[in-house]
Amino acid sequence: MKVGVFDHLDNDALPIAQFLDERLALIEAYDRAGFYAYHLAEHHGTALGMAPSPNVFLASVAQRTKNLRFGPMVYALPLYHPLRLAQEICMLDQLSHGRLVIGFGRGSAPGELRFYGVEPQDAEAIFRARLPLVLEALETGVLREPGRPAPLDAIELKVACLQKPTPPVWYGVHSPDSAERAAMRGWQTISLDTAEEARACCEAYRSARGAGHDEALMGLGRFIVVASTDEEALSLARRAYPNWHRSFTHLARKLGSTARHPRPDTWDALHAQGKGIAGAPDTVARLLRAQMQESQCNYLVGQFAFGDLSAAELQTSLDLFTRDVWPALS
């Protein structure tokens, strides 16, 4: 089974340079361990987003790793000019010798969109207008923008993608309809929802994709903490997760939002939803096997680093997962 990593790059305690150094060292460990891909979230104005420019951070990842695929999950597309984004994607693909994976979204946080002068109600229209421009530019090496006078309506990128026609595109799915849309485009998917909800998406994806295609990766994202005993792992998770959640909800509180947030504020509540797994290796392997079987996903995406978990705690969790949990999932 392929296993990947999802990361918010959240930090509200360490000096930033130290935090970034430690996270890059952890990503090197993911690479050595044989993880398939590293998926990085994009956030702004919150401790959840220590990589407000994902491409700058990912350029470092490209140089620090050898086999690990990596990329945004997702670019908040309304915040980017299509020309700059297409050019930077091509640069990262070349710098990594074809290991880049890409994902695009509308931007999930209204406050973050407004920081850039984008009104949330306009994000969908901007996304729909810009995504075809970026994808066509990656395929052809030319950004074509109808309505602009020649020669500005066709701008050569000069730096082309290494992967053809484009780097693999990933999409976050939350419903069978979104899974069908991804299947029709040949995009790979990640679900952060319950195993039951993820299964509905997988079934819709496979049905829409039809026969005659290679099996796409359909990921299931989970917070994961592994320690020597169940008690130790739960203690770590219960300590670290509320710190992550405070960062996750920081902007909503600051801006006075009354929206209901998709993640509960305690580890036990997260675990009750099946979205947080903590325990000794046998416990974690048993719970993850059951979820992968129920969901019918074929790609596990672990969020190992979150909250105030230290570099030593993260390395121990990763070592136990790699040595004792991962082999038991096959």
Looking at every residue in the chain, the average pLDDT score rounds to 95
How far does CA 184 lie from the centroid of its chain? 21
Q: What pLDDT score does 295 carry? A: 98
What pLDDT is stored for residue 259 in this prediction? Answer: 65
pLDDT at 49: 87
> In the prediction, which pLDDT does 258 show?
67
Cα–Cα distance list, 132 to 135, 144, 205, 226 (Å): 5, 10, 21, 41
How much is the pLDDT for 296? 97
Q: Tell me which residues of the chain have a pLDDT lower than 50.
A: none
Peptide bond into 327 cis (omega under 30): no
Residue 145 CA: distances (Å) to CA of 71, 91, 123, 140, 292: 25, 21, 19, 13, 43
Which residues lie closer than 8 Å to 52 by C-beta, 6 or more apart?
42, 43, 44
Q: What is the pLDDT of residues 6-19, one digit of tens each?
A: 999 999 889 999 99
The residue whose two tokens read 């705690």 is 313
For 159-175, what is each residue's pLDDT tens digit? 999 999 999 999 999 99
pLDDT of 256 reads 85
pTM of the complete model: 0.96
* Spatial separation of the C-alpha atoms in residues 167 and 138, rounded to whole Å: 8
Q: Which domains are delineated in the chain?
A: 2-73+168-329 (3.20.20.30), 81-167 (no CATH)
- In this prediction, residue 7 carries a pLDDT of 97
